[in-house]
Amino acid sequence: MISLSYLIPISLLLGAAGLAAFLWALKSGQYEDLDGAAERILFDDDNPMRRDDDPSNKG
């Protein structure tokens, strides 16, 4: 019974963390171009994406 008192909150927190991560990813535009992202990982250019002015960060 004691174990439940922390196991249940932990399980709920983990679930909530997953939910929050998904909502954040959705909002920050990480799902904007899944096909493009799949291709971009193969580019071997040396100029990394600048993150500060990413148009997808506007959300």
Partner 1 sequence: MSCCTAGDMHDVAMVGSRGAHEHEEVLLASRVIGNGLRETSLAVPTIHCGGCMQKIEQALAALPRVERARVNLSTKRVIVRWHGEVPPPVIETLNQIGYEAHLYDASLDKKDVVLARLLRALAVAGFAASNIMLLSVSIWSGATDEMRNLFHWISALIAFPALIYSGSIFFNSAWRALRVGHTNMDVPISIGVLLAFGMSVYETIVHGPHAYFDAATALVFFLLVGRALDYVMRARARTAVTGLARLAPRGALVFYSDGSQNFVPVNEIKPGMTMLLAAGDRIPVDARVIAGRSEIDCSLISGESAPQAATAGSYLQAGTLNLTGPLTLVATAAAENSFLADMIRMMEAAEAGHSAYRRIADRAARLYAPVVHATALLTFVGWMIASNDTHQAITIAIAVLIITCPCALGLAVPMVHVVAARRLFENGIMLKDGGGLERLAEIDTVIFDKTGTLTLGVIDVDDIEPASLALGAAIAAHSRHPYSLAIAAAGQNKATTPIVLNDVTEISGSGLESHANGKTYRLGQADWALANDPTAHPENASVVLSQDGRCLAAFRFRDRMHADAPEAISSLKRMGCAVEVLSGDHEDRVRKLAGALGLAHTARASPREKMARLAAMAAFGHKVLMVGDGLNDAPALVAAHASMAPATAADVGRNVADLVFLRDSLTSVPQAIRIARSARRLVHENLIFAVIYNLIAVPIAVLGLVTPLLAAVAMSLSSLLVVANAQRLLTRDKQERPSAMPTFSQILSSAQ
Residues of this chain that interact with partner 1 (CB under 8 A) are 1, 4, 8, 11-12, 15-16, 18-19, 22-23, 26, 29, 31-36, 39-40, 42-43, 45, 50, 53, 55-56, 59
DSSP symbols for 7-31 = HHHHHHHHHHHHHHHHHHHHHTTTT
Q: Specify the residue, 6 or 59, whose C-beta has the smaller distance to partner 1.
A: 59
Q: How far is the CB of 52 from partner 1 (least distance, A)?
A: 11
- Closest to partner 1 by CB, 6 vs 39, is 39
Q: 32: Cβ–Cβ under 8 A, 6 or more apart, which residues?
A: 56
CB 15 within 8 A of CB 42: no
